[in-house]
Amino acid sequence: MTSPSANLPADRDRAALAAALAASAWFRASPEDLRTALVEHGRVERLPAGARLFSRGDADDGLYCVLEGAIRIGAASFAGKEALLALIEPVNWFGEIALFDGRPRTHDAYAERDSVLFRVPRAALAALLERKPAYWHAFGLLLTQKLRLTFDLIEETALLPAPQRVARRLLLMAGGYGDAGAVRCVLKVPQEDLAMMLALSRQTINQILKQFEIQGALRLRYAEIEIVDVAMLGALAAPDCAGRPRR
């Protein structure tokens, strides 16, 4: 579980916290009074590496945003096999599904490394939406952004060869899953995790990444991937024939 932080911007400087959250395109595009309300009612919390944030079936406890570190979203079978769906990094929001349907959490969430989170409790969100129902539109945009990404990923899994899928996922992560203002050059993702997210073998991922490195698109480090040529990686992600437009 998370623990409150006593020495972070949420406690000292709400303006600094708002500035940090503004790295999220969704937050920036939301109405100013909604942004102010989220900062006012939220709290900054810490989660050490490996700690559980919530499990599938847990009651909804609010909306989260990653400020530092990374959150691992996935599930595990009774046999212990893990499915890794996403690594949520700064500054991305998550947890909005339960806000809409009021049902339990859909997946497990753990800290991939020491993380700092911003959480707006469900009770505060419910009261806010009761007072200003128009805010549902902003949260709907957050949800549909994720839904579009999900459809894209399902389509890519069904239709694209592994190298293109790898290149596209790296670009997606570098761009903050569509919610970042700039492309990050260094991705802190072990190859094993990338393999799980793409349902490919560790060996296949390693072979593809090494080929990308030879072609000058990236540089491999321990548990990191440095993108050195975004244009080259984009070319590797492009379909061989005229592709469908991105949603």
- Mean pLDDT across the stretch 169-191? 84
Same domain, 144 and 164: no
Same domain, 116 and 223: no
Across the chain, mean pLDDT equals 90
Helices within the chain (DSSP H only): 9-12, 14-21, 25-29, 32-41, 96-101, 122-131, 136-159, 162-174, 191-198, 202-214, 230-237
Q: How far apart are CA 76 and CA 64, in angstroms?
A: 22
How confident is the model at residue 245, as a pLDDT? Answer: 40
Q: What is the CATH number of the domain that holds 24?
A: 2.60.120.10
Write down the pTM of the prediction. 0.86
How confident is the model at residue 176, as a pLDDT? Answer: 82
Task: Answer whether residue 247 is part of any domain.
Answer: no
Task: Answer whether residue 2 is part of any domain.
Answer: no
pLDDT tens, residue by residue, 204-242: 999 999 999 999 999 999 999 999 999 999 999 987 643
pLDDT tens, residue by residue, 50-76: 999 999 999 999 999 999 999 999 998
pLDDT tens, residue by residue, 3-14: 554 444 444 588
Instruction: Name the residue range of residue 130's domain.
Output: 14-149
Same domain, 144 and 219: no
Task: Answer whether residue 9 is part of any domain.
Answer: no
Q: Over 70: is that where the pLDDT of 127 sits?
A: yes
Task: Answer whether residue 179 is part of any domain.
Answer: yes
How many domains is the chain built from? 2
Higher local confidence (pLDDT), 181 or 183: 183
Q: Indicate the residue among 96, 130, 149 that finishes a domain.
A: 149
pLDDT band at 1 (very low <50, low <70, confident <90, very high): low
Q: How far apart are CA 152 and CA 148, in angstroms?
A: 6
Q: What is the CATH number of the domain that holds 168?
A: 1.10.10.10
Task: Answer whether residue 220 is part of any domain.
Answer: yes
Same domain, 75 and 135: yes
Same domain, 172 and 69: no
Q: Indicate the residue among 109, 125, 149 that finishes a domain.
A: 149
Same domain, 116 and 191: no
Listed residue (42, 63, 28, 38) closest to 143, CA to CA: 63
